[in-house]
Amino acid sequence: MFFNFYSHLPSSFWRIQSEICARQGEQAISISSERVDWLPRPRSPEHASSPSSPENNTSEIHQVLSSDDLYHILGVPRAPAIDRLTLRRAYLARSKACHPDKFPDNPDATHAFQKVSIAYDVLSKPSSKRAYDSRPTHAQHDFFASGTENHADETFKGVLISIISDFLDGDLEMIHTLLRVISDLNPSLKLGDDGINSVLSVLQRIRERILTCRACIIALHTELARVLELQSAFRQLPYFDITGRSRLTIQLTRITLFLPVTLEKAIQEQQNDSYSGEQPTNHDRNNDKAALLPKRVVLLIRGIDVVLDRMERVLG
């Protein structure tokens, strides 16, 4: 389950943390912004990898192209079994480093992206992984002969949708509990049941948006990679490290609430590009209003993020 670690943190814990934050003497939260010009930036775990420089990205492209070993291409150790989280993390990291949208004039990036997708396809399926592992090391077989850009794009989309689906099928109820505590102890947010349900509904629509919006897929790439980094960090914590688990839970909640805002900004940028040099029609404007986040939901997410940031700072 995407949020299964919430089960270790009872609602009473979140109430205590929120009460501590409420006693910090900070000013009431204001949600009067007129635009989506804010992005929550929860702190990342200490061991999380930092963004790669262009030089490192080019280096990874060459690294992928220099080998036909599927494990080397993904950057994972050869092993009888590799868990899904490890494979997904490796795939998102490699695909981010060589995605054709980052290098539109570099055919090597496209080729590397295709190789990474094929490597993931083979190693993520037990039957094809066993077949690959059973081959003699000197055996020659061109796994990449049938690789196409469309196939690579479908793999990329499929991985991101799977990550989102795990979240949607996971324990949203504990996020609901956390939002309820925040609402009760921060009346200036004016969150209430309607606000909480609106936020959760927006989260549930992310999967639907990804299916039809390429810009949204690209926009979520980095954030979902951060989600997997946090999941991995959580797995490495001792079971009774309540403070550490709480901190990562808050960070992951903040990133989760950030996802629809990421999509909002990606759609806005896509529409701005579409209207470049043209005057949008009334029909276009109406479609835009239907596609974008309601302003109140964006402002609620902003207010919630302020509270979560306080809680994260209290935990250190």
| Tokens (6 digits) for 234 | 């959580």
The confidence score (pLDDT) of residue 238 equals 92
The confidence score (pLDDT) of residue 24 equals 46
Q: Is residue 162 part of a domain?
A: no
The confidence score (pLDDT) of residue 116 equals 95
The confidence score (pLDDT) of residue 13 equals 55
Q: Is residue 63 part of a domain?
A: yes
Q: Which of 126, 156, 186 finishes a domain?
A: 156
Q: Could you count the other beta carbons within 10 Å of the beta carbon of residue 24?
A: 9
Same-domain check for residues 309 and 175: yes
Residue pair 107/61 in contact (Cβ under 8 Å)? The answer is no
Residue pair 146/211 in contact (Cβ under 8 Å)? The answer is no
Same-domain check for residues 191 and 129: no
Q: How many domains does the chain have?
A: 2
Residue pair 213/161 in contact (Cβ under 8 Å)? The answer is no
DSSP secondary structure, 31-96, as one string: ---SS------PPPPTTSPPPPPHHHHHHHHHHHHT---HHHHHT----S---HHHHHHHHHHHHH
- Between CA 223 and CA 179 the distance in angstroms is 21
Same-domain check for residues 9 and 105: no
Residue 28: CA count within 13 A, CB half-sphere: 10
Widest CA span in the chain: 68
Q: Give me the amino acid identity at 100.
A: P
Same-domain check for residues 130 and 202: no
Same-domain check for residues 90 and 184: no
Q: Give me the amino acid identity at 191.
A: L
- Between CA 295 and CA 34 the distance in angstroms is 8
Cβ burial of 115 (10 Å; 0-12, 13-18, 19+) is buried
Same-domain check for residues 183 and 309: yes
- Between CA 200 and CA 99 the distance in angstroms is 31
Q: Which residue segment(s) compose the domain that 58 sits in? A: 54-134+143-156
Q: Is residue 220 part of a domain?
A: yes
Same-domain check for residues 303 and 196: yes
Q: Could you count the other beta carbons within 10 Å of the beta carbon of residue 37?
A: 7
- Between CA 287 and CA 140 the distance in angstroms is 53
The confidence score (pLDDT) of residue 50 equals 47
- Between CA 100 and CA 106 the distance in angstroms is 7
Question: pLDDT tens digits for the chain (316 residues)?
Answer: 444 444 455 555 555 555 555 544 444 444 444 444 545 555 555 444 444 455 455 788 999 999 889 999 999 999 999 999 999 999 999 999 999 988 988 999 999 999 999 999 999 999 999 999 998 766 655 666 655 667 888 999 899 988 888 877 776 777 788 888 888 888 888 888 999 999 888 888 887 788 777 788 888 888 888 888 888 898 899 988 988 888 888 888 888 888 888 888 888 887 776 655 555 555 444 444 444 578 888 888 888 888 888 888 888 7
Q: Is residue 48 part of a domain?
A: no
Residue pair 223/278 in contact (Cβ under 8 Å)? The answer is no
CATH number at residue 61: 1.10.287.110
- Between CA 303 and CA 309 the distance in angstroms is 10
